[in-house]
Structure 1
Amino acid sequence: MKKTWPNILICRHFGQPVAQTHPHLINDGEVTPGLTKSEFLSRRIKLVEKAIRTFKGVQTVKDHILIIPGASKVFMTNDIPYPFRQNTDFLYLCGFQEPDSVLVLKSGNETSERNHTSCLFVPEKDPEKELWDGLRSGTSGALELTGVDLTYDIRLFEEFLNNYCKFNSGFVLWYNFLRPVQQKIHDSVTQEMMVESKYKCMEDPTRLCQQLRVIKSPAEIELMKQSVETASQAFIDVMKFSSPEVNESALYAKMDYECRMREAEFLAYPPVVAGGQRANIIHYINNNQRIKGGELVLMDAGCEHHGYTSDITRTWPVSGKFSPAQEKLYNGILSVQLACINLCTIQFSLDQVYHAMLTFIGQQLQLLGLVETNLHTSKLMQKAKEFCPHHVSHYLGMDVHDTGEISRSINLQPGMIVTVEPGIYVNESDISVPEEFRGIGIRIEDDVLITETKPIVLSSSCPKTVEAIESVMTSSS
């Protein structure tokens, strides 16, 4: 009788989850959860197409080579590393999650219908190092896992570059020289490709890659929905957990716990957990104070779920009920947020939504008696900026502040996912406003999918009306 071995023994050579070892996460044919080899190939093809198109008609340009490094481990002290997070563009193009690797795309593949050859350089298997740091895929495992054309030992990277320069000239070198991701790779590129000056010119591939990343595929949208829903449900549990005199650090810990229990890998960024007056510090992350009864807490948090992030902000009373002044200000900013979400269509840009937000905030400030009712438009807009010093939105995806090279002045497009996050922050020392509003900071943030018609709020299950929040707080007792 033929003996069969468990899948776990067959796949010990992989350094990241695969279908055989993690069938609850990954299906056959997927490189990372929800994303197939064919999708990663399509991304690489589109990137090389963009690079070639950039120099279309320039006869002196013969070829293109794109070098996209992966991240290295970063150590907090001696041999103690920070949690590893892969370089986003590298992960987007191949799905390989091990450190100290690099992806090279060479244009012109005569043996294939593809427009390029993809080469992945990875650390080779090393039993001694794997004993301490965990399994590696090695060249054979990386080839099987990712579906790239070729894999090499990372120690051969300099030799590869040297040979490429020997037999090629007049090529465009696509490499982010100004912001190196991995120092060893940067040194190799500098030494082997830039000294000889055989390249026609050097360009940064970051913008091209982000032009692809800013529009989410159907598979990416599903992953984003999961990430946002995970964070939304975690917020509900954190609200229920809140009580007078709770420490901000406890709410931080509760958010982290609830996201991880729903299979998020980690929080997407250090969360803001700001009680009372501290909510007026936009990026407050000390999270080490007790929140008094009667105070609001502003929490800005999200999680990373299989490489895709969420970013939500809610503000609620730890005592379970808004005071009259808190409710007035909260409903004012909620009306602004709803109006801004309605503008998230293909007719508008994020900058246009931002300017509309300032108008809406100015109107609310007047209605609430926080500023004079007779201010001219320009002065009212300036006042609005003082009460809300940040933009209304940013792109969201694999990074929290995603695709930063993409202008917020272009019209929104179907498949984009953005945040909508207006706020009003009233400093406790501002004697120009009624006393009842002093020291209150409120922000409401949702994650929104752009479609051909109307926007879809992905975080709609996270309570944000006064009634819904107070209902959740009541149900906790």
Structure 2
Amino acid sequence: MFRKLVSTIAASHIGFLRRYCIRTNTAKSKASNPAKCRALGQPTSETHPHLINPDEVTPLITKTEYQHRRCQLIESIMQKAIKTSEYQKNHLVIVSGASKQYMSDKIPYFFRQNTDFLYLTGCQEPDCCLVISIDESSNEPCSILFTRDKDDHAELWDGPRTHPEDVKSFFGMDRGLPMSEFEGYLRSYGRAFRDLNLWYDFVTPSQKNIHTSVCNFMSDLSNKKWENPRSLIHKLRLYKSPAEIALMQKASDITAAAFVETMSCSRPNIGENQLFAKIDYECRMRGAEFLAYPPVVAGGNRANIIHYINNNQLVEDGEMVLMDAGCEYHGYASDVTRTWPVNGKFTSQQREIYEVVYCVQEELIDLCNKCPTLDALFESMCYLLGKRLQEIGLISIQPSNTYLMKAAYQLCPHHVSHYLGMDIHDTPSINRNIKIEPGMVITVEPGIYISNNNKSLPKSYHGIGIRIEDDILITVNGPVVLSRKCPKHPDEIEKIASENQS
């Protein structure tokens, strides 16, 4: 099923990018007629024709694609159920959306949807829930989207909501119901089907009220079986559709352009917070909603703190800055790391280490042609880093590959890759010991970190921390670097970083 889809990815995602650039006149004409512009709880082609085409639920992703995803989940559930010894004919799938979180009193944090729920529905509103019933009494599964109840007062303050009567036409669901009927629906279903298999994530619940209701529902059932659908959803999310690839390509392009602008504004004694603000601004100005994660903006020796996010120091003359940043574009993330000298010129030691990381990353990307596991790619990174460091005399000559890998691991203690998609560390239930396949998107991010406390290497290398990270789409024709527009050759880096030096 997936192989047929991804065999045409390389050609198909180009067409989706073209569609992004050319919005239809139909959507614009609808927007010009106020009578047809019924506002829902999220952007539509009528209210936001500059973002969404007719029949799209979210930018580039159609109602049909979301329906197909739900069908794939149902197929996966039935295949897994048939393989079990206690096969149940009745199944109830519950995937809840996220709730608003508040920083104080009535001041909310920026809302971000539960990505499993978003993947299956396209619904961007808080406090909603997807229920799919599969039972022996009906010929077809039934998808129900529970949305927030009508509340004129709340909508006055927070904006319009999608009401149950809008669910079928906009989201392509079979039914829409208000959240106030959720518990009653569960009780009614439990009375009708005493023998059922519940598919619900009890481990990482995303909505408190839903979780309480589901727990009560389970306690009332005499013959019950529970499964977590999370891994099945992640297996679907692992393979990106042409529309998803187009969105991720756009996210990578935005991030690349923002990096260039940020590098070019560098200068000695610039604040890490200023570089943070610059990358954030440039991403948003190009259409990204926000940064996909708190960025690392680490000057000098702070680059050796892998997850440094304080970003409150000055980067001095002669130091490099390591920036790990990416934007989120309509639900899909980019993840890029670049390291550059703020004065526009590498020292000889900085350039020497940079070229080691650069060459190793190029070799690792080429290895993706062989579709290794991510764990195998990590082992290759350790060996290649060790070999290169040995060649420049920073690791003593030893005949053992194991020695090389252990020595390199001391200088790069993190994994070289993770899956990428709607989340930065995407589909976390998928192990890194499976072979990568066409349709997957991964990162490749080798690094070398030599802190001031390193006693085994010369002091002239102390304080150097370098990582180079790119986003890689796996295709039948080999790896495609989605973040290819972000310069990384040391000559390019120096040219850009020195543009505005006084």
TM-score, scaled to structure 1: 0.96
Deviation per CA, 1:432-459: give whole Å up to 9, x if none.
2122211100000000000113111011
Distance (whole Å) between structure 2 residues aligned to residue 125 and residue 19 of structure 1: 22
Q: Which residue in the other structure is 2:446 paired with?
A: 422
Deviation per CA, 1:256-300: give whole Å up to 9, x if none.
100000110110000000000000000000000000011000000
Aligned 1:125-274 pairs, distance under 5 A: 125-199=150-224, 201-274=225-298
1:364 and 2:388 correspond: yes
Distance (whole Å) between structure 1 residues aligned to residue 392 and residue 186 of structure 2: 64
| Partners of 2:167 and 2:175 within 8 A in 1 | no
Distance (whole Å) between structure 2 residues aligned to residue 354 and residue 446 of structure 1: 15
Q: Residue type matched to 2:95 in 1?
A: I
- Aligned pair in 2 of structure 1 residues 476, 144: CA closer, same or farther (>3 Å)? farther
Q: Which residue in the other structure is 1:411 paired with?
A: 435
Structure 1 residue 320: deviation in Å?
A: 0.6
Distance (whole Å) between structure 2 residues aligned to residue 245 and residue 197 of structure 1: 68
Q: Which residue in the other structure is 2:357 paired with?
A: 333
Structure 1 residue 172: deviation in Å?
A: 1.1
Length, aligned pairs only: 471
Structure 1 residue 109: deviation in Å?
A: 8.2
- Aligned pair in 2 of structure 1 residues 5, 441: CA closer, same or farther (>3 Å)? closer
Q: Residue type matched to 1:184 in 2?
A: N
Distance (whole Å) between structure 2 residues aligned to residue 41 and residue 159 of structure 1: 26
Q: Which residue in the other structure is 1:303 paired with?
A: 327
| Partners of 1:276 and 1:441 within 8 A in 2 | yes
Q: Which residue in the other structure is 1:289 paired with?
A: 313
- Aligned pair in 2 of structure 1 residues 207, 294: CA closer, same or farther (>3 Å)? same
* Greater shift in the superposed pair: 402-411 or 375-384: 375-384
- Aligned pair in 2 of structure 1 residues 322, 188: CA closer, same or farther (>3 Å)? same
Unaligned stretches of 5+ residues in structure 1: none
- Aligned pair in 2 of structure 1 residues 376, 59: CA closer, same or farther (>3 Å)? closer
| Partners of 1:108 and 1:117 within 8 A in 2 | no
Q: Which residue in the other structure is 2:57 paired with?
A: 31
| Partners of 1:345 and 1:454 within 8 A in 2 | yes
Q: Which residue in the other structure is 2:477 paired with?
A: 453
Q: Which residue in the other structure is 2:26 paired with?
A: none
Aligned 1:116-127 pairs, distance under 5 A: 116-127=141-152
Identity %: 48
Q: Which residue in the other structure is 1:81 paired with?
A: 108
Q: Secondary structure at the match of 1:97?
A: coil
Distance (whole Å) between structure 2 residues aligned to residue 143 and residue 252 of structure 1: 42
Q: Residue type matched to 1:66 in 2?
A: V
Distance (whole Å) between structure 1 residues aligned to residue 80 and residue 369 of structure 2: 29
Distance (whole Å) between structure 1 residues aligned to residue 228 and residue 385 of structure 2: 39
| Partners of 2:340 and 2:497 within 8 A in 1 | no
| Partners of 2:130 and 2:144 within 8 A in 1 | yes
- Aligned pair in 2 of structure 1 residues 471, 158: CA closer, same or farther (>3 Å)? same
Distance (whole Å) between structure 2 residues aligned to residue 323 and residue 227 of structure 1: 32
| Partners of 1:447 and 1:457 within 8 A in 2 | yes
Q: Secondary structure at the match of 1:343?
A: helix
* Greater shift in the superposed pair: 11-20 or 238-247: 11-20
Structure 1 residue 60: deviation in Å?
A: 4.4
- Aligned pair in 2 of structure 1 residues 179, 130: CA closer, same or farther (>3 Å)? same
| Partners of 2:31 and 2:47 within 8 A in 1 | no
| Partners of 2:31 and 2:46 within 8 A in 1 | no
- Aligned pair in 2 of structure 1 residues 206, 59: CA closer, same or farther (>3 Å)? closer
Runs of 4+ in 1 over 6 A off after TM superposition: 109-112
Deviation per CA, 1:218-251: give whole Å up to 9, x if none.
1111011001111011000000111111000010
Distance (whole Å) between structure 2 residues aligned to residue 395 and residue 362 of structure 1: 25
Q: Which residue in the other structure is 1:21 paired with?
A: 47
Distance (whole Å) between structure 2 residues aligned to residue 305 and residue 287 of structure 1: 23
Structure 1 residue 156: deviation in Å?
A: 0.5
